[in-house]
Amino acid sequence: MGSSSSKVQLTPEQVTDQYIKSAFIVMFSRTWCLYCKRLKKLLRQLNVDVAIIEVNKHENGSAIMNVLPSISGCQTTPQLFVGGQFVGGSDDVHRLHAEGKFLPLIEERRSSWNK
C-alpha cells in the first residue's frame, strides 16, 4: 500500500501572516516600484537587515496583495513591518527617519520581539 501525503494548503491570510512573522523586519515590494527602490536604498544606507518579499515575483503575490490592506490599511507597495507591526510605506519611513524616529522605533520593537 502506498502512502498518500496530503499537503496542507494555507490561506492567503495565513501565508501573509507567516511572512510578516518570519523576520523581524519584512518589506512587501514590487521589483518595478520606484517607491520600493527608494525605501530599499534607505534601508541599505542604514544597514537595516530586511526580508524582502517581491510580490510581483511570488506565486501567491496577487493573493498577498489582496490580504495586505486588511492588515495594514494600505493597498500599495512598499509595506514595511517591524516586529510584526505595520510601520508604513516609503514616505512614512523616510519621514520617521528625517524626524530621528525610525531607528529608535526598530530598537524599541526589537526588545519586545526577542522576548
pLDDT 10s per residue in the chain (115 long)?
454 555 678 899 999 999 999 999 999 999 999 999 999 999 999 999 999 999 999 999 999 999 999 999 999 999 999 999 999 999 999 999 999 999 999 999 998 886 5
Architecture of domain 12-113: 3-Layer(aba) Sandwich (3.40)
* Domains of the chain by residue range: 12-113
The pTM assigned to this predicted structure is 0.90
Residue environment code for 61-92, b if the CB has 16+ CB neighbours within 10 A, otherwise e: eebbbebbeebbeeebbbbbbbbeebbbbbeb
